[in-house]
């Protein structure tokens, strides 16, 4: 079921996601992590994103996570602004992922952003504080564990995609 949103919401979404606004709210730690670079930057980004403060203060956090559901019902300008912000986040993440293969690094960036946004969204939505913290902790541990390796090939098989991209691979090592 889709709910209709008021057209004014779309204008607000587009305004909030303007590059000069989006980069000044909720992204300082992301930019700092990007400057730090490498595994240290990646760890700083994950720890800064998947924590109780970020969960409890969505008004000061990442717009990519905070308004995804609203943007999915928005018009072209809001969606274009959101897409721009997602691409900016993916660019920062790809720069932090140490993989010589650019395409693999981009895939890992998409995976990482998906886990970050999904985990913070779920942690905000559940009504059980212990489950909320477990979501944040487990997602952070999984991302940092995966980053210690050279890429997706070292992630558990159930998380890897087969090279033909049509099925999950359980045999590629």
The model's pLDDT over 13-58, given as tens digits with 9 standing for 90+, comes to 555 555 555 444 456 777 777 788 888 899 999 999 999 999 999 8
The pLDDT value recorded for residue 146 is 87
Residue ranges of the domains in the chain?
7-152
pLDDT < 70: residue spans in the chain: 1-27, 149-173
Shortest CA distance to 173 belongs to which of 165, 156, 164, 24?
A: 156
Helical packing angle, 102-125 and 76-96, nearest 10° = 120
Structure tokens at 63: 């717009």
**pTM confidence score:** 0.74
C-alpha dist (Å) from residue 77 to 4, 8, 15, 46: 17, 12, 9, 29
Residue 160 CA to residue 170 CA, distance in Å, equals 8
> For domain 7-152, which CATH number applies: 1.10.150.110, 1.25.40.10, 2.40.50.100, 1.10.357.10?
1.10.357.10
């Amino acid at each position: 079921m889709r709910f209709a949103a008021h057209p004014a919401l779309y204008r607000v979404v587009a305004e909030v996601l303007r590059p000069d606004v989006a980069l000044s709210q909720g992204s300082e730690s992301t930019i700092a992590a990007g400057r730090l670079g490498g595994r240290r930057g990646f760890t700083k980004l994950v720890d800064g994103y998947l924590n109780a403060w970020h969960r409890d203060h969505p008004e000061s956090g990442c717009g990519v996570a905070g308004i995804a559901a609203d943007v999915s019902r928005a018009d072209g300008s809001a969606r274009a602004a959101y897409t721009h912000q997602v691409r900016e986040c993916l660019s920062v993440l790809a720069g932090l992922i140490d993989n010589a293969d650019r395409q693999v690094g981009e895939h890992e960036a998409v995976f990482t952003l998906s886990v970050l946004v999904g985990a913070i969204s779920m942690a905000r939505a559940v009504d059980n504080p212990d489950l909320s913290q477990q979501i944040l902790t487990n997602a952070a541990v999984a991302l940092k564990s995966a980053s210690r390796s050279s890429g997706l090939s070292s992630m558990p098989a159930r998380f890897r995609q087969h090279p033909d991209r049509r099925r999950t691979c359980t045999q590629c090592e």
